[in-house]
Amino acid sequence: MNYEHIERLATFLRYWALRMSTKAGSGHPSSGLSAADLMATLWTTTFRFDFKNPDNPNNDRLIFSKGHATPLYYGLFAAAGAIKPEELDNYRQFESVLEGHPTPRFRFTEAATGSLGQGLSIGVGIALALRAKLRTQNSVLSTKNLQLTTHNSQPHVYVLLGDGEMAEGSTWEAIGIASKYKLINLVAILDVNRLGQSEETMLGWDLGSYQRRFEAFGWNTVVIDGHNFSQITQSFKDSKLQRGKGKPFVIIAKTVKGKGISVLENEHGWHGKPLTQEQFDQSIKELGKVDFEFRVNVRKPEFSQRTLLLKSPKTLKSLKKLDYKKGEEIAPRKAYGKALARIGEVYPNLVSLDADVKNSTYSEIFKEKFPDRFFEMYIAEQNMVGSAVGFARMGFIPFVSTFACFLTRAFDQIRMAAISGANIKFCGSHAGVSIGEDGPSQMGLEDLVMFRTINGSVVLYPADAVATEKLVEEMAKLKGISYIRTTRPPTPVIYGNEEKFEIGGSKVHLTKNQEPRTKNPENRTKNRKKSSITSSKSKVIIVAAGITLYEALVAQEELGKKGIEATVVDCYSIKPIDEKTLLNLTQQGPTQRPIVITVEDHWFEGGLGDAVLNVFACPSKPWQSGADDPKVRVYKLAVSKMPRSGKPEELLRYEGIDAHSIVKKAMEVVTR
C-alpha cells in the first residue's frame, strides 16, 4: 500500500496544529503532534462519515477524550472540507466555535470533553445506543433491535485516549462495562506519548502493562508503533476482523509527544504551551512541503437512513391515569419507578440506567416491563453519567438513578453533560437524614446545591406519590439536565390524582381559617404557577419540600392552636422556584414585615433556603410595586449537625427540622 497520501495528511495536520496554537498564543500542539499519524490513518482508510448529515445514525463516531488536542481535532475536519482552513485561524477566539476543548458549539462534536477520563464513557453510551436500530414502521424498541451483530456496516465508535487519563478511575469503569456488554463496535486508540503535564505518566512507555490490563478486563488488544503507517493501517483492519470474538478493541500505540518538531519532540515542559513565532517559523521548515490545498475524501456510510434514530411520542393522551388514594402511604422512590414504567409506553426512546440499586430506587419496575431498555451500570456512577451523555447524543432520553449521595462523585461528569447540552434526567433517592438508620454516609445532603449550580438545570423535590409521578412526566418533556429527589420512607398521599404539577410552580396549603380564592371550598391547595393567593391574616409563611412538607403541615396545625396562622408552601420546584407566589404571599402591607421560615432535609448551605433567599435578595420580576424591597424576614431551618444512625423522627428532631422545631422557631420570631 502506498502511504504517501496518509503522510501528506499527517503533515497538513501538524502544520495547522502549530499554526493554530501559535496564532492563538495558547493551546496544546505537542499533544496533537503525537496522535497525528494515528488520526490521519483513521481518517484516510477507515472512518465513515456523512459531513452533510452529522446525525446520520450510520455514521462512525469520533471522540477526542484527550480533548486538549483540539489543534489536531479541528484540522481533521478542515482536511475533510467540512470547515474552511481559514476558520482555523480563529481558534480559541471568542466569536469562534473552535474552542480550546471540544464542545457541541462545533457541530461535529459528539460531546464536550477536556475534563480527562470521560470520553470512553461517552463512547460506551453511543456504542450501546447504536445497537438500537430504527424499526421501519414505528420507533418502538424490541429485543431483536438490541442483539449483537457482526455486520461490517454497523457504525463504529472511535475514542482517542491519552495515556495520562489512564490514571482516572472513570476510564477503567468504562473499560469494564464495555467488556460486560461486549461492545464490538467500540475501538479505543490509546496514544502513549509518555509525557504528562508535569512529569512522565505513571507507566511511561510500558506498553506491555497497558496491554495486560486491557486484556484482563476482557478487551482485544494490539500494540503498535504509532508512527508506522503500515502498523496503524493493519491495526484498524484488525479492529474490524476481531469483532466476531465479541470483545471491544484497543490499539495501544507508542508515540512521541511533539513528533516531527525538534524543539518539542519528547521534551518536558511543553504541555499546553505554544511555540513563539520564531520557533514556529523554524519548525515549519522541518515539516517540509505542506500541501495547503490537500483534502481527504472521507467515505460516507455504506447505507443511509434518512429518518431520525428515534421519534418523539406523538401524544401523551394514552398515558394511564393515576389511581392513588389520599392517605395511603407510598414511598416517593417507588412512585418514581412506577412513573418510569408508565411513561415508558409512550416514550420509546426512554432508557433507564441504574448503579446496582434498582431495588432501592425502584427502577427495577421499569426493567421488568422494558428489559431491553434498562442498563445495569453497576457501582460506577461516573461512567454511568458519561454513558448517559452518549445515549442522549443518539436521541435517547436517559433516566439515571442511584442514591443521591453517590451522584456527588459524578459531579464532574454532570457539569460536563451540561456543557454538552445533554438531555439527561437524574433521580437521587435516599436523600436527607430521613433515611434513618443507615447513617450519614448514605444520606444525600449536598444534592440540591449540586444540581442547582448546573447551568439551565431543573431541580424538583416532590412530597408524595402523585407529585412524584406527575413531575417525572414533566421531566420527560424537558430538554437538558433535570433532577428529582425522592424520599426513602413512605409518605401519605395528600394530592388528588388529577392535581397538576408544573415546572416552576408550587402548592399553597392554607389553614382552615383562611379562605382561598377558589370555587371549590374543599380544595385547600392551588397550583401557584397560575394563581396569586395571599392572606393578610397569615403571620408566618413556612416553605418546605419533600419530607419536611409533612412536618410543616403538622406545625401549621399546632401554630393555629396557639393563635398563629401559618401558610405552608410546598416548594416542589426548587429550580426554577415560584418567585411570583413567594413575593405575593409576603406583600401584605407597607408596615408589616412578613416572616418566612424555610425548612429542608439538606445541609444549611445552598439548598431550598438559599433558593428562597435569592427570591427576596433580587427578585427577577417585580410582580407588584415595591417587590424589589419586600423587607422580608427569612429564617432557615436545615441540617446543621453531623447526622448519625437513628430513626427518621429522631434525626429530624436532632437537626431541628421537625414540626416541633418549626413551631418553636415560629413562636420565637413572631414575638420579636
Q: Grid coordinates representing 552?
A: 410543616
For residue 191, give the H/E element and its range. strand 186-192
Q: Nearest 5°: phi and psi at 154? A: -60, 130
Q: For residues 594 and 587, what is the distance between their CA atoms, to the nearest angstrom?
A: 7
Contact predicate 336/362, CB 8 Å: yes
Grouping H, G, I as helix, E, B as strand and the rest as coil, residue 429 is: strand
Query: Identity (one letter) of the amino acid at 431?
Result: A
Q: Grid coordinates representing 633?
A: 424576614
**Distance, C-alpha 668 to centroid of its chain:** 43
* Strands of 461-499, DSSP E: 482-486, 491-492
Contact predicate 361/354, CB 8 Å: yes
CA angle 420, 422, 428 (to 5 degrees): 120
Active site residue 381: yes
| Closest of 441, 375, 432, 435 to residue 406, by C-alpha | 441
Q: Nearest 5°: phi and psi at 186? A: -110, 125
Q: Which of 364, 381, 469, 565 is catalytic?
A: 381
Q: Which residue has the cell 499527517?
A: 10
Q: Which residue has the cell 419507578?
A: 337
CB atoms within 10 A of CB 328: 11
- Residue 222 to residues 3, 171, 204, 242, Cα–Cα distance (Å): 20, 19, 18, 11
Q: For residues 352 and 522, what is the distance between their CA atoms, to the nearest angstrom?
A: 39
Q: Which residues are catalytic?
A: 381
